[in-house]
Amino acid sequence: MLTVLHIGTGKGRRPAAHFFLGHLAGDLMWALLALIALRWVQLLFPAVFPALTVAGALYLVYLGIRAPAAASALDSGSSVHARCPLAHGAVFGLINPKSHPVTLAIFTSVIAGNTGMLTAATVPVFLPAGALGRITADALLAWIVGLQAVRTLYSRAAPWITRGVAFLFFGFAASSLLHLG
């Protein structure tokens, strides 16, 4: 999200949308693997699911703490992101080492209190539903980051926006821990 804000506010809507489209391929692959892993854990080792939930929550807290450092690293490589955002998004989505653990942690947080809803029949439903939600959110964000007011706001308030993203990670972590029991 921070990369898209950086690309969109610097180069406009089209490069941000291209980054999203490229990134979607990687995200869908990681989402499918995360859903399969969660279903496998649920079937074979149901007692492990609470530990996985706690590990995912701790990882989200770690990412929230690291978000400001990641945002400042964007400034040094902004031209790389903007040259070919579609290819950059695809490569980033496929090889980003955080994609699988983040996706796993988010899905774990979402279903933490309702592990019974993760069945062989519902796993295939989660992927298209997640993809549709992601495409909708990406299109909206690509449009929003192209607005002049957002560009101006981001140039002035980037550190505060980054902190807001960090709090989103903290919120997902808290939600997963609250629904653990």
Q: What is the pLDDT of residues 22-53, one digit of tens each?
A: 888 887 888 788 778 877 877 777 777 788 77
pLDDT tens for 72-117 read: 655 544 455 556 888 777 777 777 656 667 777 777 767 766 767 7
Six token digits for residue 39: 């279903």
Burial class (CB in 10 A: 0-12, 13-18, 19+), 174: middle
CA 81 to CA 94: how far, in whole Å? 15
Position 77 scores a pLDDT of 45
* pLDDT at residue 16 tops 70: yes
Average pLDDT, the chain: 77
pLDDT of residue 166: 82
CB of 80 closer than 8 Å to CB of 88: yes
